[in-house]
Amino acid sequence: MMKLLLALSRGIDALNERVGRVVLWLILVMALVSATNAMFRYLLNLSSNAWLELQWYLFAAVFLLCAGYTLLHDEHIRIDVVASRLSRRTQVWIDIFGTVFFLLPMSTFILWLSWPMFANAWVSQEMSSNAGGLIRWPARLLIPAGFLLLSLQGVSELIKRIAFLRGLIPDPVEKHVDPVIQIMQIDQEAAK
């Protein structure tokens, strides 16, 4: 059973890794849109609400769609004043508790609440109230998509923490090896 769960974890990790690496390019696009918009506004006295809203959409996409990627790489903000003094096994138990009682309930609840907002915007073809603004459903879709990726990564991290406690894999948050590569190497060794 654990081998199947680790395969699921590996698939989730690979999904968030791919999504994160693609979405990170949106930062460059966002910077180019912002610079172009500022240049047109100050040099040619031209402005467009669509360009401003596009910047907002791109920022939302990076923030929401990279949440799972950030969790995969254990880069979320933590307050380790107490936890850093505890043993690694105790820290893993804290991660499990936080994932089960905080991360997964919160992310699935937001996913559940945001889906009707997206569906309503899709059906009504909701438009921005700003003159020349963009259609809203793409921005509304980013919320459930981002929280789905975060929820999936939470499940993956939970699986890896449990496997670590059972002695089946090394510490999944060690920084020197990418988690996806680490799990693939473990599976290759187990197959031998």
Please write the tens of the pLDDT for every residue from 30-77: 999 999 988 988 888 887 888 889 999 999 999 999 999 999 998 887
Q: E strands of the chain, at which residues?
A: none
80: pLDDT strictly greater than 90: no
177: pLDDT strictly greater than 60: no
Burial of 153 (0-12, 13-18, 19+ CB in 10 A): buried
Q: How far apart, in whole angstroms, are the C-alpha atoms of residue 161 and residue 165?
A: 6
Chain centre distance of CA 153 = 8
- Assigned domain for 72 exists: yes
27: pLDDT strictly greater than 90: yes
Q: Region 129-156: what's the mean pLDDT?
A: 93
**pLDDT at position 180, please?**
61
Residue 94's domain spans which residues?
Answer: 15-191
- 181 pLDDT band (50/70/90 cuts)? low
Task: Give the helix/strand (H/E) hosting 27.
Answer: helix 25-43
175: pLDDT strictly greater than 90: no
- 183 pLDDT band (50/70/90 cuts)? low
Q: How far apart, in whole angstroms, are the C-alpha atoms of residue 103 and residue 106?
A: 5
125: pLDDT strictly greater than 80: yes
The domain tally of the chain equals: 1
Between the ranges 3-7, 42-46, 171-175, where is the mean pLDDT highest? 3-7
- Assigned domain for 71 exists: yes
- Assigned domain for 3 exists: no
192: pLDDT strictly greater than 80: no
- Assigned domain for 9 exists: no
